[in-house]
Amino acid sequence: MALRPHVFLTSEQIQKRVQEMGRQISEDYPEGPIYLIAILKGAFIFMSDLSRAITTPVRIEFMGISSYGQNKSTSGQVKVTKDLDVSVEGRHVIVVEDILDSGVTLSYLINLLQQRKPKSLKIATLLDKPDRRMRPVTVAYTGFKIPDEFVVGYGLDYAEDYRNLSDICVLSDD
Ligand code: IMP
Ligand code: MG
């Protein structure tokens, strides 16, 4: 049966929450620059909106990490496919992620970035599926906690499709 996207979080709900997150981050970091590191590709839209909701000066950086291949669940194997172009030593760093699921990706990445001696290191994730956690991850900024459903849109994909939907949708076969 064909999979169809059903709206789960509307664009308006997402925008409202991202503005709140940006306000909170701006209050927590009165001085910049904050190095925002978005994880490609899924976080690209969240990064775009969140960075514009932050009033403290930011630097925009990207990293590529793959742990999934073409499937709906983690392979458990993490690989850096694009590293940072800059040093983050002595810098305030916020990792910007689309969704925290098993925690395999972020626990690997946090460990890697910690070795580069940032002044501070926190995580901002738009979505969190706490039911699926295999590795503990401490998150400073969470947009929405969601149940264990596969979601797409607002940057999130299923086999590279649906990233450009403005809403976040559950993919199901009815
Ligand atoms: P983790 O390593 O299991 O925490 O996986 C995090 C990554 O898995 C995210 O950055 C997404 O790329 C992908 N992912 C996890 N759940 C979903 C989902 O529901 N929809 C789309 N991608 C997902
Ligand atoms: Mg993905």
CATH number at residue 143: 3.40.50.2020
Q: Is 161 a catalytic residue?
A: no
Distance 58 CA to ligand 1 centre (A): 25
Residue 154 resides in a domain? no
**pTM listed for this prediction:** 0.94
Residue 171 resides in a domain? no
Residue 168 resides in a domain? no
**Distance between CA 158 and CA 172 in Å, rounded?**
11
pLDDT exceeds cutoff 90 at 74: no
* Cβ of 66 less than 6 Å from ligand 1: no
**Distance between CA 31 and CA 119 in Å, rounded?**
13
Q: Which of 98, 157, 163 to mutate to test the pocket of ligand 1 (most atoms within 8 A of CB)?
A: 98
Q: What's the pLDDT score for residue 67? A: 74
Least confident of 10-24, 61-75, 120-134: 61-75
| Nearest residue (CA) to ligand 1, atom 3 | 102
Residue 164 resides in a domain? no
Q: What's the pLDDT score for residue 129? A: 97
Residue 127 resides in a domain? yes
Residue 65 resides in a domain? yes
Q: What's the pLDDT score for residue 173? A: 83
Domain with 53, as residue range(s), is 11-147
Per-residue pLDDT band for 1 (boundaries 50, 70, 90) equals: low
Number of domains in the chain: 1
Residue 160 resides in a domain? no
Query: 70 or 36: which carries more pLDDT confidence?
Result: 36
Per-residue pLDDT band for 170 (boundaries 50, 70, 90) equals: very high
β partners of residue 39: 63
Distance 100 CA to ligand 1 centre (A): 6
**Distance between CA 110 and CA 57 in Å, rounded?**
22
Q: What's the pLDDT score for residue 72? A: 59
Q: What is the number of the ligand closest to the CA of 73?
A: 1
Residue 85 resides in a domain? yes
* Cβ of 118 less than 6 Å from ligand 1: no
Residue 39: closest CA among 89, 101, 90, 129: 101
Residue 121: closest CA among 34, 1, 42, 61: 34
* Cβ of 67 less than 6 Å from ligand 1: yes
Q: Which of 6, 71, 78, 99 to mutate to test the pocket of ligand 1 (most atoms within 8 A of CB)?
A: 99
